[in-house]
A and B are shown apart, each in its own frame.
Chain A
Amino acid sequence: MTDVQGHWDWLFGRLTIQQVPYDNLVVGTAFIFAAIVGLAIVGALTYYRWWGTLYRDWLTTIDHKRIGIMYGLVGTVMLFRGFVDAIMMRTQQVMAAGPLSHGYLGAEHGYLPPYHYDQIYGSHGTIMLIFAATPILAGFMNYLVPLQIGARDMAFPYLNALAFWMTAVGAGLVMISLFIGDFSHAGWVGLAPLTELPYSPDVGVDYWTWALQIGSIGTTIGAVNIIATIVKMRAPGMTWMRLSLFTWTSLTTNVIGLTAFPVLGVAIGLLSLDRYFGTHFYTTGVGGNFMLYTDLFWIWGHPEVYFIILPSWGMMSEIIPTFSQKKLFGYPVMVAATLSIGCISWTVWLHHFFTMGAGPIVNTFYSIATMLVAIPTGVKVFDWALTMVRGRLTFPTPMLWAVSAIFMQIIGGWTGMMLAVPSINYMTHNSVFVIAHFHCVVMVTVFAAVGGATFWFPKMFGFTLHERSGQWVFWLLVGGSFFVFTAMFLLGLTGMPRRLAYVPYAGWWPLLVIEEIGIFVDIAALVAFVWQITVSIRDRNLNRATRDPWGTARSLEWITHSPVPVYNFAVIPHVNARDEWAWRREHHLEHIMPERYADIELPVNTPVPMLIGACTAAFGFAMVWRIWWLAIASLVAIFVIVILRSFTSGGHTIIRADDIRRMEDQAMRAPRRSSAGMVPGAVPAFRTGAAE
């Protein structure tokens, strides 16, 4: 064990009351906000007596749909937190430009001291990529993949819940670090050797390592589950070349996840060995090499980029044909492009550190490999464009998002090709040009995910989102992002480095002001989004969705009801075509009802994944603060729970055929307008064991 600076005792480890930054105005404000929101949630749960349903139907659920929605909720909360981080960074830079800029709240310039600012960009990146984008996409995959392949649930429902809770624990550790201790100041990539104990003696880096480590376990076992589901659980007739594009991208992305995330585990694990046991993997002396860390991190890091982008492309490939009223152009080529991007993702990682000093042949190899990505990506862009050519185009919000995502993809892709040239990279490395580039690319994910959320919202909750406010969200976010990232590209080309708490050159100030204006427009988009959700829930009875609320949807998930009943499909569908719902519509088969129903066997809910999650949270927290007894106790508890669970079969519940007939008949009638017995976002008749 390495010695740490400062206080340590066996009971509380490094944890003391001084670690709570109650004297920091910024953190204090955040705490008050979090406390108010938390109290409001607790109050609402108590007032409406929702604790029981929260526990029975959500926290203990192993239904892939509810887990998918919970993934989405966790991701959205973290997205909000990461967005607040972004606002704080933009505001700091605009306030701290030039030597004459004033300082407030104890900062020399701006309002954040460098150490605090550094933690904010570290948490912004970590949160947005690992705890916002990844869970939101995992949520979509969880919800949609079984529906799109005609399955009743995932291959391993229990493992699914466990994966969710691991991800939630990782996100929770990041959130706790805001109020107890501090977060990593070494960026989301963990710049070695800055992350080593002598340079980062605080617990911030430990929070970062354990949050990533635990979250990545969740992503890995989630990947196993989705791959197994797609390979083994397809409905009769659902051949490989009939899979929807979103399912194909989910498969590819999870193969990437399964193979790449263990590398992250090793990279971070070796760093933890350095910090806890005093080994020298990434030190600059005693045989260590901090470049090894950078190498290992990006072996995972670049596949992770494609992990985030591929499902977004899948969603765009579902939305665009629906609102073009045409089948997707070049389906086999799209599938091939998806798979080849998955393969190439493993051979490009060195382009993140062209300037490290490897030889020219090495840089050239990775430069060419990176440019190869443009071929399948270009194929995709042309396929989307040609899908729209001569289609009957309509532009409701999902389509607006999907089409603008193509434009964002083109900007992000072009600048990516620029950065793939090592000689350009030597000029722009670590400048905000890189930041603008990859933000354009992840904005593709944001656009596609918001579009996808609007598109599938009626399928998930049974009512459509308010269209007009959705258009407001779209134009505000697109407009704001235009200001932010155009200015950022220009700043990058004039040489502004990334991660600056103090901007030394006052000439950059006007462009920073434009970025600030842009992010305030983005705040307006967030307000419009909250307004949209509020109005949509208020007016939900006016906007009840039928099975296919868009009228032109194509894939298999639209043949079941909205919201999807707990058993997904009353009878497992037989698949006749690639776009099954469109096929049935063309052959006037939408209203055919099954002749008879059979009993459906479903696994019962279990609190075990949540318990394991709680123990894992205790373990992570204990390791961060070096409370050894608690770490050992929670590890032992996890082992005991896993062993005890392995002796039970989990149990099943049966939904009787008569009940299915009753529920199906009820659901096939015209959309109900009555609000009697309605819980927002759930139809009680479809609860587990609806036999009551």
Chain B
Amino acid sequence: MSVDNSRPADHPEIAYSNARSYIIGFVSTVALLGISLLLVQTHAMSAFNLLATISVLAFLTTVAKLVFLFHLDFSETQRWNTLTLMLNVPLLILSIGLTAWMFRTLYERVMMH
């Protein structure tokens, strides 16, 4: 797919964007992050529940950003961008998963029960 560089309005990422999705994206992500901040600041739940809740909220924020701000989907123009991002998923699993595993065994040994 070729794009004429002298006509930026024809670029797919510009052609497909619109004010509505940007506003939805901005408001929803700020709201989700604001809710997480409030929950943490007020210690609204037990530690484990808090951790689980803000993890879910963080995941939702990421999805909202990818969909509404980056317009990633499986349409013809965005398929490769989406696929490239998905190549990062194994890295996320490795870094977060192995870290969680390490800390679990670490806490058994170094933290007071």
Cβ of B101 within 8 Å of any chain A Cβ, yes or no, is yes
> Does residue B102 face the partner (Cβ distance < 8 Å to A)?
yes
A291 beta carbon closer than 8 Å to chain B: yes
- In angstroms, Cα B106 to Cα A289, docked, is 12
B97 to chain A, nearest CB (A): 11
A358 and B98 form a contact (CB under 8 A): no
Closest 10 pairs between A and B when the two form their complex, measured CB to CB: A359-B105, A358-B106, A358-B102, A357-B109, A358-B105, A357-B110, A362-B105, A299-B95, A362-B102, A357-B106
A-chain residues with CB within 8 Å of residue B95 when the two chains form the complex: 263, 299, 346
Residues from chain A with a CB closer than 8 A to the CB of B105 are 358-359, 361-362
* Complex partner residue of A291 from B98, B101, B106, CB under 8 angstroms: B106
> Interface digits, B1-19 against A, CB 8 Å rule (1 contact, 0 not)?
0000010000000000000
**Residues in A neighbouring B98, C-beta threshold 8 A:** 347, 350, 365
Q: Is the CB of A291 within 8 A of B103?
A: yes
A259 with B106: CB separation less than 8 A: no
**List of B residues within 8 angstroms of A356 by Cβ:** 106
A629 and B64 alpha carbons, distance in the complex (Å): 34
Between A and B, 23 residue pairs with Cβ closer than 8 Å are: A259-B88, A263-B95, A291-B103, A291-B106, A292-B103, A295-B99, A295-B103, A299-B95, A346-B91, A346-B95, A347-B98, A350-B98, A350-B102, A356-B106, A357-B110, A358-B102, A358-B106, A358-B109, A359-B105, A359-B106, A362-B101, A365-B98, A649-B6
Binding site for B on A (CB under 8 A): 259, 263, 289, 291-292, 295, 299, 346-347, 350, 356-359, 361-362, 365, 649
Q: How far is the CB of A467 from chain B (nearest CB, A)?
A: 45
A359–B110 alpha-carbon span in the complex (Å):
11
What 0/1 pattern do residues 73 to 113 of B give for CB contact below 8 A with A?
00000000000000010010011001101110110111000
Query: Which residues from B are CB-within-8-Å of A295?
Result: 99, 102-103
Bound CA span A404–B58, Å: 50
Q: Give the chain A neighbours of B106 by CB distance below 8 A.
A: 291, 356-359
Residues of chain A within 8 A of B99, CB atoms compared: 295, 299
Q: What residues of chain A lie closer than 8 Å to B101, measured between beta carbons?
A: 362
Q: Is the CB of A359 within 8 A of B108?
A: yes
Residues of B within 8 A of A292 (CB): 103
Residues of B within 8 A of A358 (CB): 102, 105-106, 109
Q: What residue in chain A is nearest B94 (Cβ atoms)? A: A346
Q: CA of A289 to CA of B88 in the docked complex: distance in angstroms?
A: 26
Interface residues in B, total, Cβ within 8 A? 15
Note all chain A residues with C-beta closer than 8 A to B94.
346-347
Closest Cβ neighbor of A300 among chain B residues = B95
**Chain B neighbourhood of A361, CB < 8 A:** 105
- A382-B110 Cα distance, complex, nearest whole Å: 44
* Bound complex: CA A259 to CA B90 (Å): 11
Q: Which residue of A lies closest to B40 (CB)?
A: A287
Residues of B within 8 A of A (CB): 6, 88, 91, 94-95, 98-99, 101-103, 105-106, 108-110
A400 vs B106: C-alpha distance when bound (angstroms): 47
Residues of A within 8 A of B102 (CB): 295, 350, 358, 362
Known pairs A358-B102, A362-B105. 12 more at Cβ < 8 A? Answer: A259-B88, A263-B95, A292-B103, A299-B95, A299-B99, A346-B91, A357-B106, A358-B105, A358-B109, A359-B106, A359-B108, A361-B105
State how many angstroms separate the Cβ of B6 from the closest Cβ of chain A. 8
Residues on B with C-beta less than 8 A from A357 are: 106, 109-110
Which chain A residue has the least Cβ–Cβ distance from B47? A287
Min CB distance, B59 to chain A, in Å? 16
Residues on B with C-beta less than 8 A from A263 are 95
A365 nearest CB neighbor, chain B only: B98
Q: In whole angstroms, what is the CA distance A649 to B101 when docked?
A: 50
Q: Is the Cβ of A259 less than 8 Å from the Cβ of B108?
A: no
Q: Which residue of chain A lies nearest to B110 when distances are taken between CB atoms in the complex?
A: A357
CB-based nearest A residue for B108: A359
| Complexed CA–CA distance, A510 and B17 (Å) | 70
Contacts of A350 in B (CB 8 A): 98, 102
Nearest to B88 among chain A residues (CB) is A259
Shortest CB–CB separation between residue A349 and chain B, in angstroms? 8
Given the complex of chains A and B, what is the CA–CA distance between A362 and B107 in angstroms?
Answer: 13
Nearest residue in B to A258 (C-beta to C-beta)?
A: B88
Q: How far is A357 from B106 in the complex, measured between Cα atoms in Å?
A: 6
> A362–B110 Cα gap in the complex (Å)?
15
Determine the distance from Cα of A350 to Cα of B110 in the docked complex, in whole angstroms.
17
Task: Please pick, from A346, A359, A365, the residue contacting B109 in the complex, using a CB distance under 8 A.
Answer: A359
Q: For the complex, what is the distance from the CA of A346 to the CA of B6, rounded to whole Å?
A: 40
Report the nearest A residue to B109, measured CB to CB.
A357
| Whole-angstrom CA separation of A536 from B47 in the bound complex | 67
For the complex formed, measure the closest distance between the CB of B46 and the CB atoms of chain A, giving whole angstroms. 13
Chain A residue with Cβ nearest B90: A346
CA distance A346 to B97 in the complex (A): 12
Q: How distant is the Cα of A358 from the Cα of B91 in the complex, in angstroms?
A: 21
Nearest Cβ on chain B to A500's Cβ, whole angstroms:
26
Tell me the bound Cα distance from A252 to B101 in angstroms: 28
Cβ contacts under 8 Å, B109 to chain A: 357-359
**CB-CB nearest in chain B for A287:** B47
Residues of chain B contacted by A346 (CB below 8 angstroms): 91, 94-95
A297 to B98, alpha carbons, bound, how many Å? 14
Q: Closest approach, in angstroms, between the C-beta of A387 and any C-beta of chain B? A: 32
CB distance from A286 to the nearest CB of B (A): 12
Which residues from chain B contact A289 at a C-beta distance below 8 Å? 103
**A299 vs B97: C-alpha distance when bound (angstroms):** 12
A295 to B106, CA, bound (A): 12
**Complex CA distance for A175 and B83, rounded to whole angstroms:** 42
In the complex, what distance in Å separates the CA atom of A346 from the CA atom of B94? 8
Smallest beta-carbon distance A634→chain B, Å: 25
B1 CB, min distance to chain A CBs, angstroms: 12
In the complex, how many angstroms separate the beta carbon of A366 from the nearest chain B beta carbon?
8
